[in-house]
Structures are given as C-alpha cells and as structure tokens.
Amino acid sequence: MLKTNEIEPRHYRDAMARFAGAVHVVTTDGPAGKRGVTAIAACSVSDNPPTVLVCLNRENPSNDCFVENGVFALNTLAADHQELSNAFSGLTGLSPEERFAQARWETIATGAPTLSDALAVFDCHVVQTVELGTHRVYFGRVAGLSIGDKSSPLLYHERGYRVL
C-alpha cells in the first residue's frame, strides 16, 4: 500500500496497467497537417450535446496539430486492428504516410480521417482543451458518427492486447 506522497510515476503506470481500455486511433487533418496516434485514454462525456474526450501527450510537439487543426476523429478499433494500432503507436518507426497506408480512410464531417471499418467513429470539433501534467485533454463535440459491424473490440490490459 502506498500513500499519496509516495506514488512515483512507475507505480502509477503499474496500477494503470490493470485498467482495461478500448484501443483507438485518433486522427486529425487540416492546415497544421495530417496525424494519427494510438490512444486508450478516451471516453464519453455527454450525449446531449454529444461530446467525447481524448488525452494525448502534450510533450510530443507533433501532437500540437490536433489543437491547431481544431478537429479530431476518435476511431474505435476492432480485434483485427492490432497491426494498425501498432503502426500508429509510434513504436514501428513508420512515417505518417506509411501509417495511413495500412487502412482505408474516409471523411465524415470535419475533414479528419475516419477509419472505414472501425467499430465506431466519433468525428469531432475541438470545443475545449485542458492541460494537466504530461497530457492535454481534448473535448470534442461530435459532428459526425459512423457505426461499424458488431465485432469484438480491441482492448489493452496488462501492457498487451486483449479481445473481449
């Protein structure tokens, strides 16, 4: 058992590894450029107005384009998207063009790339951001939706992929 003043980042990450989360690719496109990243820290905020949030590392200056473009799409991945998740994780060394070449993309409302075979897509306008610690929380008002087939979701738990 650790007290609050004893919690180190390593211990926090170890505890969060036990938190199962859906895997998403968050994308943007616009004047600041096209980008996509794998994320687990995302959730619904409200259904009226429809709003989601996603947390992205603000210490990576490449993620600033999400703020500058003012749009993002939250693409929820299915079990068969593990390679796509790896491609957008940054661990494969693929260029942005090579990452996007791994799948078929469309647009719905904002111009952000949307994964054509995602379980669900929430196409959003950024309505607010909050910077906290190493991350920036993006609140997105949903401007378009895509609901895919009822497939098994890709989850991340104990530092590895899982399927429900």
Residues 59 and 149: their CA atoms lie apart, in Å, by 35
pLDDT at position 3 is 60
Whether residue 148 lies inside any domain: the answer is: yes
Evaluate if residue 112 carries a pLDDT over 80.
Answer: yes
Alpha-carbon distances of 84 from 11, 48, 66, 146, rounded to whole Å = 29, 31, 20, 18
Indicate which CATH number applies to the domain containing 147: 2.30.110.10
Instruction: Tell me whether residue 1 is in a domain.
Output: no
What pLDDT, on a 0 to 100 scale, did the predictor assign at position 62?
96
Q: Tell whether 111 is covered by a domain.
A: yes
pLDDT range class, residue 127, cuts 50, 70, 90 = very high
Q: Which residue carries 């989360």 as its tokens?
A: 21
> What span, in angstroms and rounded, lies between the C-alpha atoms of 89 and 28?
15
* HSE value, Cβ hemisphere, 13 Å, CA-based, for 136: 16
Q: What pLDDT sits at residue 4?
A: 63
Q: Is 100 a member of any domain?
A: yes
- Specify whether the CB–CB gap between 10 and 148 falls below 8 A: no
The whole-angstrom separation of Cα 155 and Cα 21 is 5
Domain containing 77 equals 23-156
pLDDT in tens, 63-102: 999 999 999 999 999 999 999 999 999 889 999 999 999 9
The model's pTM is 0.93
Pairing of strands 135-147, 50-57: antiparallel
- What is the count of structural domains for the chain? 1
